Amino acid sequence: MKVSWPVLLFGLALFAAWLALIPVLQDAAGVDPQCHGRVYGKARFTGLVLCSLEAGSRGWLFLGFLASFPALTLTWLGGRFRAMRAGRDG
């Protein structure tokens, strides 16, 4: 599976932008990761998901944003692996 440098750099830039936008959109959606009054520690992501669900529709949109990059990456990789198994690498 060949990935060119421009594609790799573009992917890394998208990942960095996605990571940078998480706290911005979390504040805009009004999602408080400590909505239950306790710190989740290592399960911080669990607390973020639970509090997003309690935040209503804005919280759901925030969760959609959180899931977008991993879902698109897995879809792209799945296509690349299918093409590789079929004998094409492009």
59 vs 7: which has the higher pLDDT: 59
Phi, psi of 65 (to 5 degrees): -65, -40
Which residue, 60, 76, 61, 59, is CA-closest to 14? 76
Q: Which long-range contacts (CB under 8 A, 24 or more apart) does 63-66 make?
A: 65/21, 65/22, 65/25, 66/22
pLDDT digits (tens, 9 = 90+) for 58-85: 999 999 999 999 999 889 888 888 887 8
pLDDT (0 to 100) of residue 41: 64
Neighbouring CB atoms inside 10 A of 26's CB total 20
pLDDT (0 to 100) of residue 68: 93
Residues 6 or more apart from 17 whose CB is under 8 A from it? Answer: none
Answer yes or no: pTM beyond 0.75.
no
pLDDT (0 to 100) of residue 88: 65
Place 40 in a pLDDT band, splitting at 50, 70 and 90: low
